[in-house]
A and B are shown apart, each in its own frame.
Chain A
Amino acid sequence: AQSVTQPDIHITVSEGASLELRCNYSYGATPYLFWYVQSPGQGLQLLLKYFSGDTLVQGIKGFEAEFKRSQSSFNLRKPSVHWSDAAEYFCAVASTGANNLFFGTGTRLTVIP
């Protein structure tokens, strides 16, 4: 069975600091991996996705993520966090593209001035 673990429930960073949100998955085959951001009152927005190819994926809003098969990880990074990045971040895995998404429990990001 597939599963997604986001070990950090809540992370606080200073504006301008770098950010890394961890995601580990369990899946038997090559997974489709996603990072979504959820802001209050708004739907989940896709930040980036990995299906195949280059293991370093660039996304929107300056985010990137790296797929490491040996570590079963897909960590999200941003070199310099902005106050507007404060939100809930979800990692998700799927077996076939956009179907059957399985979400992690999320990491809440707080950005302090």
Chain B
Amino acid sequence: GAVVSQHPSRVICKSGTSVKIECRSLDFQATTMFWYRQFPKKSLMLMATSNEGSKATYEQGVEKDKFLINHASLTLSTLTVTSAHPEDSSFYICSAARYNEQFFGPGTRLTVL
């Protein structure tokens, strides 16, 4: 149990376009989901905390207008990278909270050309 999926696993897009990444909790309901960004050989950096039915809470330095987060249901949160640029290329990981633990998705590799 406690499986989290992400879609797509890999995406390549042109600079200036928008990309949507989905995060789903498959077998449990999650009122809170998290979005992380992982740079090569670096730690996971928390971008934002997503709560179902309310606005996301962004970490300092994360542009909320560039990284739009929607948590419309208890099993789905989406991250939209708007007007993507090459510096947005990264590995994005979501997690869903259940009791006192976060369950992580497999990640999405975004490459912006």
Contacts and interface: CB of A to CB of B under 8 A. Distances in A.
B101 A43 contact: no
Nearest to A105: B43
B36 to A, nearest CB: 8
B35 interface: no
Interface in B48-71: 49
B101 A98 contact: yes
Interface string B76-113: 00000000000000000101011111111111000000
Interface residues of B, number: 24
B102 A98 contact: yes
A98 B96 CA distance: 9
A26 B62 CA distance: 24
A43 B107 contact: yes
Contacts of B100: 32, 49, 51, 97-98
B43 A90 contact: yes
A108 B76 CA distance: 31
Interface of B: 4, 9, 32, 34, 41-46, 49, 93, 95, 97-107
